Structure 1
Amino acid sequence: MPELSILQPVVVLAAWTMIMWLWMYATRIPAMQAAQVEPDKLANDPETTLDRVLPPGVQWKAHNYNHLHEAPTVFYAVALVLFLTGEGDGRTAILGCAYVGLRILHSLVQATFNKVMVRFGIFALSSIVLMALIALAARAVFLGGTA
Structure 2
Amino acid sequence: MMHRYFVVLSLAFFVSDVYAHKDREVVITEGGKLIGLPEQYLPAHFMIDSKQLQIGRNSLVFPECVSKYFLHDRDLNITLGSSWYHKQKNPPPYIYFDLKPKTQDFSIRLNFALDTLDLLSLDVQFYGTNGSVYRDGLAIYEKCRINVRNAVKPSKTVSK
Q: TM-score, normalised by structure 2?
A: 0.24
Higher helix share: 1
Considering Cα pairs closer than 8 Å and 6+ residues apart, tell me whether 1 or 2 has the greater RCO: 1
Q: TM-score, normalised by structure 1?
A: 0.25
Higher strand share: 2
